[in-house]
Amino acid sequence: MLIALHGLLVWPGVALEARRPLVPEGERNRNLAYPGEAKDQDNYHLPVIRDMVRQWPRVNLRSYESATSPGYHLLLAGVARASGGVEHKLPMLIINALVGLGALIAVWFGCLRWVAPWPAVALAVPLLGSSYFLGACIWITTDNAALLLIALAMNCVLAERWTRTRGLLSGLFAFGAVAVRQVSIWLAAPVVLMGLLASPAAGIVERIVPELRTRTDRISPRWSNLLVGAGAAMMPIVLLGVLAWHWGGLIPASEAMRAKHGQGWNPAAIPFCLSLCAAYGVFFLGGAWGEIRRLTPRDAGLWIAGAIGLGCAVLFETGWELKTRDYGWLWRGLVKPCGDVAGRSVVLLVLAPCGAALLLLLHRAAVRRGRGLPATVLLLSLLGWLLAQSFNTMAWQRYFECTVLLGLAWLGAMATGAERSERSVSSLAPRWLGPLLLGALQLSAAGATLGREVARTMLP
């Protein structure tokens, strides 16, 4: 089902893009009618790939016109060399679309650990409907390649039974994610955490965070498991260290890229991300309905979660600002027109605490179903991702949406999923109608924006 929907939505766009002439070398695509992914492809990714093809095999990995690690560009440069050059871009477009499909399937597969196949489809549909995901499937960007490797790494981390093989695989996938986007270094934390929880030192961690308590039948605690986890986590860390040494910083040594993305921490990313969780997460609350019914005015946890979200929205400047706090329906459609008070967005002041409270409710529902360990590891991992992402000066919605939808799909599956004996579509139907509705809304919005832009710029 997901493969068919993906093909229906993506391959026509890929076919049209393959026919579109390349932007002449030295020129830039400044046509405002084009989607951001198309302009990024034309202005950054394809020129970098073209340069790598020319420089092969002595490729300049120090200074190039992209803010991300060179791994995906190197892969596509190899494809371009084998297929006759960047001018013949169809093979690269096909691989890029398949990478996006792989990311979607990896998210769906993660849901299968807790729900049946059809509910898992429903939980993955919002990601499929995202215009950012679809745009990155049609045009060449690093977005979906990083998402695929993140999903693969986290699938290994959240596996029902941790093994050394899964630990090493999670490190390899984290290595690949950092090779595509250096911001993915946060994956090292959950990789080593799972090794720690499989060691005799797990008791110390469990006393601090009781939800991380592991079942004795999951794995025999050994110090060698911690060594495997630490070794796996060192793979992405060492890679980032080598890249940072080679670049002379955390961004390739390109003045344009450093001026755009390397101007320091953007803490508005934190309340913005919580607000996205509120806007999208409300559709995943079906599994947490029991937790909602149990709420009382004296629920301290909910008040604390809301206070944390509100504190982030008050503490940091969140009003709309050109380029740094810009792009996406939340920034331009709500934050900008609704204004701010003392630089604090009125919209984010409302949504950020709601997002924090919503995540708490989903986590509680997962804990009640005996899934406290994966739910807690997932939330801690996403916190690491958010902190890492906030060091990008540009808090654009495209940098957050797909990872938020991945996290909500998996957390929603943990909260919603029935026991294995109850995994029928009929028993879960009311609970996955929310994600289906969100997916339909996402697809409608993508059709109204991305589809219109494709038709206007690429059809004869």
Whether residue 287 is contained in a domain is answered as yes
Residue 420 lies in a domain: no
Domain boundary among 229, 254, 279: 254
Specify whether 2 is located in the same domain as 72.
yes
pTM of the model: 0.94
Same domain, 453 and 328: no
Question: Does residue 429 have a pLDDT over 80?
Answer: no
Inside any domain, residue 184: yes
Domain match, 230 and 271 both:
no
Same domain for 244 and 226: yes
For residues 114 and 28, membership in a common domain is answered with yes
The answer to whether residue 121 sits within a structural domain is yes
pLDDT band at 151 (very low <50, low <70, confident <90, very high): very high
HSE, side-chain direction, 13 A CA sphere, residue 17: 29
316 lies in a domain?
Answer: yes
Domain span at residue 331 reads 262-415
Our count of domains for the chain comes to: 3
129 and 148, same domain (yes or no): no
Q: What is the pLDDT of residue 153?
A: 98
For residue 367, pLDDT over 80 is answered with yes
Q: Which of 254, 277, 306 is the last residue of a domain?
A: 254
Give the per-residue SS3 of 80-125.
HHHCCCCCCCHHHHHHHHHHHHHHHHHHHHHHCCCCCHHHHHHHHH
Residues 451 and 400 in one domain: no
Q: What is the mean pLDDT of the chain?
A: 89
9 and 134 in a single domain? The answer is yes
Q: Does residue 445 lie in a domain region?
A: yes
> Which neighbouring-strand residues pair with 34?
none
Task: Evaluate whether residue 303 is within a structural domain.
Answer: yes
Task: Kindly state whether residues 285 and 215 are assigned to the same domain.
Answer: no
Is residue 198 domain-shared with residue 218, that is, in the same domain? yes
Whether 267 and 247 map to the same domain: the answer is no
Q: Is 456 exposed, middle or buried (0-12, 13-18, 19+ CB in 10 A)?
A: exposed
| Predicted confidence (pLDDT) per residue in 318-327, tens digit | 998 887 888 8
Band (pLDDT 50/70/90 cuts) for residue 418 is low
- Same domain assignment for residues 243 and 290: no
